[in-house]
Amino acid sequence: MIFMDALHGKRLVILGMARQGTALARFAVGVGAFVTLSDMRPAVKLAGARQALADLPADRLRFVLGEHPLSLLDACDVLALSGGVPSDSPLVAEARRRGIPLTNDSLEFMRRAPAPVMGITGSAGKTTTTALVGQMGQKSARQTWIGGNIGRPPLEDLAHMSSNDLIVVELSSFQLELWDECSPPIAAVLNLTPNHLDRHRTMAAYAEAKSHILRHQKPGDVAVLPADDPGALEMRGLARGRLRLFSAHEPVSDGAFVQDGQIWLSDARGQTALCPVAASRLRGRHNVLNVLAAVTLADAAGVPHEAIVEGIRLFDGVPHRLETVRRVGGVQYVNDSIATAPERALAALAAFEEPIILLAGGRDKDMVWDGWARQVAQRVKHVVLFGELGPALGQRLGDRAPTTTVETLAEAVSVAHEQAGTGDVVLLSPGGTSFDGYSDFVERGEHFRLLVRELDGSEEADR
């Protein structure tokens, strides 16, 4: 029997030609949909994206570039939003008024996933936890796929997946806010602190978007939540099946915890010591929580304890997350470009005991900076502020900490290099987004790497 895909013959309009939008376009054309790809950027800036889709039949794919006109809805059966497209934009509001269904690439994947999906969200730590769970899975005997908001959209690998595979997907609030019918069978909310309020407007709306990862679970599913995070733990009432917790402070009856310097796993059969906390190469208390979450998720998916432990021991972390770029002249240069909220920057500060030269700035997301300013004033040797946010952060700090304000990241690295001495850490942990000067935090982090590599001085062995 031949099964026809639900998008076959449908007129699908996709807003946004970044990675998610182009992956969905290729998949949809492949299953027989008629696709219109629209992006607010002009054609000259999208030549590469268009070329990547040049092999698709012209009668199945068309482009509307430089705008999102309302006329797109006149020949639209389904409207798909890429992550960067606000769900309250005029075009989306009109689609809702007309009763046109909304979707995105992650939701379309969930509808077709051939094996149970582990979904991971949270305000911080998603990528690290997703990658670590993936490494644990890869150390077992099962084929493991890692994707979503990290790496490849899973739709690109759908044709190669089977029912025995492990599928680990990172999910952002932008993706989850459209999920109104399904949730991953194994799902985690790592934490919940203010983030993306420039997009979601209120903390309640942000939390509501995150909650969709649990809201549609079934009685046989597993929800993983942090016992130490009150905001995320409030979602425990959404768990329809098994609730598993993780904690760095106290034992839990079902999940993972730390006790006497050991990582323990607990379930109805009892408690098992897996390995010392020190076996992990990741730095900082927040990463201890990421490891505990990964342990709980992997165990829920049936990954053997031996593979879980091996994954912990071998995992080096993810680029742009407390990544040591170089040690030179007795100074350690650390790339934490992923820190696009003040809470993430504070977690980075807490990971070090050494004196810190902090590089902070970027673009604000309507965040609250009072707690950041207090901790920075107590903890940081010198603050180098850069980007659009620099002057405002300087006003927030006042005379409570030595500061230098510059315009660019290049200037910030130069100042930090002059200020730093033996035993110091130069830490790029901006607290703001990268969009004042870069396409994303990865491009900003790569520029920091390049700037640090160009500094004068002999390379020191990592120790």
CB 16 within 8 A of CB 82: yes
Cross-strand bridge partners of residue 190 = none
Q: CB within 8 A of 233, min separation 6: which ones? A: 225, 226, 227
Residue 124 in marked binding region: yes
Cα torsion through 199, 202, 204, 210, rounded to 10: 20
Q: What share of the chain is helix, strand, coil (3-state, %, to 5)?
A: 35, 25, 40
Cα torsion through 342, 347, 353, 358, rounded to 10: -30
Residue 122 in marked binding region: yes
Residue 193 in marked binding region: no
Spatial separation of the C-alpha atoms in residues 364 and 436, rounded to whole Å: 9
Residue 311 in marked binding region: no
Closest CA to 422 of 325, 351, 315, 327: 327
3-state DSSP of 74-128: HHCCEEEECCCCCCCCHHHHHHHHHCCCEECHHHHHHCCCCCCEEEEECCCCHHH
Residue 115 in marked binding region: no
- Separation in Å, CA 372 to CA 58, 122, 216, 367, 430: 52, 20, 36, 10, 11
The residue count of the chain comes to 463
Residue 25 in marked binding region: no
Q: Which residue has the tokens 């409570």?
A: 400
Residue 128 in marked binding region: yes
302 three-state secondary structure: coil
Cite the annotated binding site for ATP by residue number: 122-128
Cite the annotated binding site by residue number: 122-128
